[in-house]
Structure formats: structure tokens, C-alpha cells
Amino acid sequence: MKTAMNEEMSTSVLETLSLPGRQYQTGTKNQPTHILRAELKSVVRLWQAVLYNNVIPLTHTSDITISRAKLIFCILLQKDVDIATLISNEIHAIVLSKPSKSGAVRPLAFPGLITGLCKAKGVVIPQPLVPIRRKIDHVFVNARYYNPREFPWASRRSRPPPTYSQSPPQVTSPPVPPTEMTHLRHVQLQQAANHRGQLALHSYFYHYTLNQANTGGSLYPWPTPEQFQDAILWPGDGPVFSGGGGEPEQPHVGEQGQRFDAEVEEEGIDGGEDNEEGVEDEGSLSPTF
């Protein structure tokens, strides 16, 4: 692993371990030193976790140095790697290492291996054993070692978008009973008649005001009740159902209009008697409206 890399091997290691278009991080002499963890492929991150927990114990597992990059490169290409020698060298280096200058307590490397060797030599191991690190499973890998830059976001969606063979299904509403449709249509006709009546009344009052201002009291001719009903087209108080029943199909004025006509007729009779006596009120409206 300490063998210097030529340009061809350096390029091959970089293309195998990192994402496309990434480069080595270089030192002061412009020599490659490491690859950033953010630029490593997901499978390389996973092998980092395996090696750093079982072969090359490290507490800092962020970026990957050149020597460790060559080790993972050989593993990915399925080349022979002497793992036993690597572990032996790491244990030997730990034994020869000096205490930390800061006084910080260093974690014991290879806890599982050391525990197994002690147990093989007859050392009594207290029970139960407490796991030091989390188990490396798919949840742990997806949370800490998956590189979102390697795959597009769409590939991580939990459900693919629905596919339609021909065209999306059409949304249809339940059928409406004919009686309800008749009522709705009748209400629409009544609203339209009310709107026409409001416009007509506004027009009558507006022209009445203009004529009074221009002629000094000349009355604007108002329509008779029959003319007003013909203009408004009131559809009736109730809808007309097909097959009989309901109100007549022709427009009419309803019960209130009938009572109003009866009152007008009575007033007309009284007014006629007054006119016969020679009494005439020129400033009043027509008694028939």
C-alpha cells in the first residue's frame, strides 16, 4: 500500500472511488493526499465503515487518504489483500504508540478481536457484553453512508409515478335526478327574471328623473303590469315537471301578483267614480301600476 502510484493507476483509483469529474486534494508539493468524503461513491463509503471498524481502526472517518484509497481500490477490483497482515501491523503500531499529549483517553482498537483472543486463551469475559458501535445494517448505511450526489433525486422516491396505458381515467360525477335538475333550472330562471326586473326598474326611475328635470314635471310613461310581465318573463312560483304536475309552463305573476291585480281593480273602480265627479290628480302615477 506504500507503493507510489503512477499516473495511470492514480487516474484509475480516482475514477473507481470518486464521482465523475472529481479530483484529488493535493499537498504543498502538489502531490495527491486524499479524496473528500463528499465526493466518494456510496459503496466506497460503506467499505470505509467496514475497514475502519474491523481492519484499520480510526475515530475520524471523513476523508480517505491515498493509502486507504488504494486498499479499497484493490478490494473493489477483487485483488488479493492480506487482511491478517494489515491487522497485525495495526495492533503493533498501537502497542508502540505513545499516550496522547492532551491527556485524552483513546478508545481501544479492535475490541471484538481482542475480546475473542482473550476468550480463546481462557480469560473469563464478563457478561453481558455491551456493543460499542451500532450494527451496520441497511438503516445505518442509508442514514450515514449513502451519497445523494451519486444518484438523481427521482431514484430515491418511495413510489414511482402512476403510469397509464392510454389516458388518465376521467372523473365523473354521479347522475343528478331529473327533479333536482328541474328545480335548479327553475331557480336559474327566477334569478334571471329578478335581474331583468331590477334593471327595468332602474331604467324607469332613471328616465323618470331625467324627464322631470328636463320638462318640469312631465311624467315618463311607465309600462302597464302586462307589459312589465312580458318584459320580465317570470317563470312561476314552482317548477314544471315533465309528465304533468307543477305550475303551468307559461310565465305568470304568481299569487302575490294576482292579489296585487285584484287590489288594482278595486282602486280603479274607486278612481273611476272620483273621475266622474271631475276630480283628477295629474301628479299621481297611473292607478294600474
Whether 87 is covered by a domain: the verdict is: no
pLDDT exceeds cutoff 70 at 159: no
Residue 32 pLDDT: 86
pLDDT exceeds cutoff 60 at 250: no
Whether 98 is covered by a domain: the verdict is: no
Claim to verify: residue 15 and residue 141 sit in the same structural domain: yes
Whether 99 is covered by a domain: the verdict is: no
Whether 288 is covered by a domain: the verdict is: no
Residue 266 grid coordinates: 278595486
Residue 248 pLDDT: 47
Choice between 264 and 207, residue whose per-residue pLDDT is larger: 207
Whether 255 is covered by a domain: the verdict is: no
Which of 232, 247, 272 finishes a domain? Answer: 232
pLDDT exceeds cutoff 80 at 164: no
Whether 279 is covered by a domain: the verdict is: no
Residue 122 pLDDT: 92
Whether 245 is covered by a domain: the verdict is: no
pLDDT exceeds cutoff 70 at 13: yes
The parent domain of residue 42 ranges over 7-81+124-145
pLDDT exceeds cutoff 70 at 247: no
- What total of structural domains would you count in the chain? 2
Claim to verify: residue 66 and residue 188 sit in the same structural domain: no
Average pLDDT of the chain to the nearest whole number: 73
Whether 184 is covered by a domain: the verdict is: yes
Claim to verify: residue 71 and residue 201 sit in the same structural domain: no
- Per residue in 64-81, pLDDT tens? 888 888 888 888 988 888
Q: Lowest-confidence range among 93-107, 115-129, 170-184?
A: 93-107
Residue 163 pLDDT: 63
Claim to verify: residue 132 and residue 228 sit in the same structural domain: no
Claim to verify: residue 62 and residue 184 sit in the same structural domain: no
Choice between 149 and 284, residue whose per-residue pLDDT is larger: 149
Claim to verify: residue 77 and residue 185 sit in the same structural domain: no
